[in-house]
Amino acid sequence: MSEKEDPKKTNFIRPNFIRRIIDEDLAHGRHARIATRFPPEPNGYLHIGHAKSIVLNFGIAEDYRGTCNLRFDDTNPHKENREYVEAIKEDVHWLGYAWGERLYFASDYFEQLYGFAVELIEKGRAYVCALDAEQIREYRGTLTEPGQESPYRDRPVAENLDLFAHMRAGAFPDGTLTLRAKIDMASPNLNLRDPVLYRIRHGVIHHRTGDEWCLYPTYDYTHPISDALEGITHSLCTLEFEDHRSLYDWVVANVSVPCRPRQIEFSRLNLEYAVMSKRRLTQLVDEGFVAGWDDPRMPSIAGLRRRGYTPEAIRTFCERIGVTKADNLVEMAMLENTIREDLDRKVPRAMAVLRPLRLVLESYPEDRTELLTVPNHPKDTTKGTRPIPFTRELYIDRDDFMEEPVRGFKRLVAGGEVRLRNAYVVRCVRVVKDRTGAVVELRCTHDPDTLGKNPEGRKIKGVIHWVSARQAIAAEVRLYDRLFAVPEPGAGGRDFRADLNPASLHTLTLCFLEPGLAAAAPGDRFQFEREGYFVADKDSHPARPVFNRTVTLRDTWSRKTGG
């Protein structure tokens, strides 16, 4: 069994139907080399569904030693802009892919596209139509009834040519004229009922061509030609374009392009408790439900990055979910497992108390400070050690103490013992409360003979983390949860916004971190022991550290207790 066939190896390449098609094309000598492309429209930020496509397209190019172009599909100036172009480039790059010199824009082909349109007109395969939008819809027919031919369908070639030239020259206002392919108004495939190839758009500034054009080609016309011009062999897209394939093939067959790429469709990624359409994502940003495209709750690449996800984990996730044509809804647990797995092995540990409760060691000298040497990783000794101060007054997490413990609780209880992680075993001798009865402080004693060794004659079940009060760094910690409260937001015709999880963000403003964390730079990742994985946010400063929780640790205890 070769490594590529063994699923246990990390470089295992999951077979999928697209790779099989490519293998077959190669076996039949249909291509000298493989060329794919990732063709985003710059009208929004990339999300994890795009990552699936990026990993697929760039991954195939890598494995077959071919190429993958980054091409912006910018044929609708109304919705597209440079900010998105730059953000998309950053995201693809961050994910670990390089397009080198192969950066393209569909708008770079506008002149050639225009030429091919003239060719179609000359061949009698396209015509200038004067039906307005509503009329075109009426003439198109319905799903079950054929359409009617446009009265302009048989306009003479010379007249079409003249009109088309005048359309380009700006002689007609928006919406008056379109260039349409002459295919078949009775086709059961609506996409073939004389689809619009060009529309008129005055007064919009295209992010690259400015006001040079008032005529813009449609996706169905632009995409196949762009692919052909770039020598793309396999044009991979999502399932909703399946019906467009015959039009794709028609365009490429009726115009003098250098080659005929093959379009193959796969199903898009759906993730539980998330929305994945640019329209909805844009809405969340524009309507202020999130703080921006990089809000850590967003499934956008920028959001996941700020949340603390690594590009490696995202790529692994995309490989694990596979590529098929079946509708799917991937569980959040799948994504979370991938990031935990990656972070567990590469990230240093640290101690941070999120909900502080003061703990005073009555048996420990007031003026004493011990510098304990603790490992940065429990299994990877190459990650070294760090010193942590230990003093009489500490903070522990409120959740690690219960005056009246529930069954199975193995942390600190009144009169009980617990191990302070990396330090001593302590016993709680007194619980201090305020007038309302709330616990405000724990008085404890420590067993000096338990540093780096277990006590004699008794077994300590629990281990809790802590931070020395005097040296602790006050910090803000943002706890994120799923953005939506239901697995399929908007299902059943509901407004997806009504499904937002009101508790998707908890901001803890007074957390205490071990002193070393003050030096963390934005983007630095840690495991706060027993809490989860965290990343220093871009809002973080040495004077005021801010950490985002990427994901919690797997927690079989709170699951058992229903917490």
Asked if residue 220 binds RNA (CB under 7 A), the reply is yes
Asked if residue 445 binds RNA (CB under 7 A), the reply is no
Which position among 153, 268, 410, 427 bears the catalytic label? Answer: 268
Q: Per the structure block, which two tokens stand in for 235?
A: 């044009």
User: Using H for helix, E for strand and C for coil, what is the string for 501-513?
Assistant: CCCCEEEEEEEEE
Residue placing its CB nearer to RNA in the complex, 220 or 537: 220
Asked if residue 241 binds RNA (CB under 7 A), the reply is yes
Q: Tell me the three state secondary structure of residue 122.
A: helix
Residue placing its CB nearer to RNA in the complex, 478 or 530: 530
Asked if residue 530 binds RNA (CB under 7 A), the reply is yes
Site for RNA in 466-485 (CB under 7 A): none
| Contact indicator for 153, 127 with CB cutoff of 8 Å | yes
Asked if residue 44 binds RNA (CB under 7 A), the reply is no
Asked if residue 21 binds RNA (CB under 7 A), the reply is no
Name the burial class of residue 29, with classes exposed (0-12), middle (13-18) and buried (19+) by CB atoms within 10 angstroms of its CB. exposed
Per DSSP, 264 falls in state: E
Q: Least distance (Å) from RNA to the CB of residue 411?
A: 5
Is-catalytic flag, 134? no
Q: Least distance (Å) from RNA to the CB of residue 191?
A: 6
Is-catalytic flag, 268? yes
| Contact indicator for 49, 245 with CB cutoff of 8 Å | no
| d(C-alpha 9, C-alpha 524), whole Å | 28
Binding part of the chain for RNA, among 202-210, 300-308, 409-417, 538-546 by CB under 7 A, reads: 409-417
Per DSSP, 414 falls in state: T
Pairing assessment for the beta strands 425-433 and 439-447 based on DSSP bridges: antiparallel
Asked if residue 458 binds RNA (CB under 7 A), the reply is no
Asked if residue 349 binds RNA (CB under 7 A), the reply is yes
Asked if residue 259 binds RNA (CB under 7 A), the reply is no
Asked if residue 553 binds RNA (CB under 7 A), the reply is yes
Phi, psi of 557 (to 5 degrees): -70, -55
Report the first-to-last Cα separation within the chain, whole angstroms. Answer: 45
Q: Per the structure block, which two tokens stand in for 36?
A: 């794919």
Asked if residue 107 binds RNA (CB under 7 A), the reply is no
| Contact indicator for 555, 561 with CB cutoff of 8 Å | no
| d(C-alpha 408, C-alpha 26), whole Å | 61
Name the burial class of residue 53, with classes exposed (0-12), middle (13-18) and buried (19+) by CB atoms within 10 angstroms of its CB. buried
Residue placing its CB nearer to RNA in the complex, 207 or 244: 244
| Contact indicator for 544, 522 with CB cutoff of 8 Å | no
Residue placing its CB nearer to RNA in the complex, 272 or 539: 272
Asked if residue 371 binds RNA (CB under 7 A), the reply is no
Binding part of the chain for RNA, among 158-166, 185-193, 516-524, 535-543 by CB under 7 A, reads: 185-193
Asked if residue 525 binds RNA (CB under 7 A), the reply is no
Q: Least distance (Å) from RNA to the CB of residue 291?
A: 26
Residue placing its CB nearer to RNA in the complex, 17 or 509: 17
What are the beta bridge partners of residue 265?
A: 237
Asked if residue 224 binds RNA (CB under 7 A), the reply is no
| Contact indicator for 305, 522 with CB cutoff of 8 Å | no
Which position among 19, 155, 262, 278 bears the catalytic label? Answer: 278
Per DSSP, 7 falls in state: T
- Nearest CA to 234 out of 4, 73, 24, 92 is that of 24
| d(C-alpha 429, C-alpha 496), whole Å | 52
Is-catalytic flag, 379? no
Asked if residue 330 binds RNA (CB under 7 A), the reply is yes
Among 82, 115, 189, 429, binds RNA (CB under 7 A): 189
Residue placing its CB nearer to RNA in the complex, 14 or 30: 14
Asked if residue 507 binds RNA (CB under 7 A), the reply is no
Among 200, 236, 339, 469, binds RNA (CB under 7 A): 200
| Contact indicator for 422, 388 with CB cutoff of 8 Å | yes
Binding part of the chain for RNA, among 47-55, 431-439, 446-454, 478-486 by CB under 7 A, reads: 446-454
Residue placing its CB nearer to RNA in the complex, 226 or 295: 226
Q: Tell me the three state secondary structure of residue 359.
A: strand
Asked if residue 190 binds RNA (CB under 7 A), the reply is yes
Total interface residues for RNA by CB under 7 A: 94
Residue placing its CB nearer to RNA in the complex, 68 or 131: 131
Q: Per the structure block, which two tokens stand in for 505?
A: 């963000």
| d(C-alpha 21, C-alpha 12), whole Å | 19
Name the burial class of residue 552, with classes exposed (0-12), middle (13-18) and buried (19+) by CB atoms within 10 angstroms of its CB. middle
Among 1, 27, 143, 543, binds RNA (CB under 7 A): 143
Asked if residue 79 binds RNA (CB under 7 A), the reply is yes
Asked if residue 373 binds RNA (CB under 7 A), the reply is no
Asked if residue 333 binds RNA (CB under 7 A), the reply is yes
Binding part of the chain for RNA, among 28-36, 108-116, 280-288, 377-385 by CB under 7 A, reads: 377-385
Q: Least distance (Å) from RNA to the CB of residue 144?
A: 4
Token pair 């994945």 is found at 276
- Active-site residues: which are they? 41, 268, 278
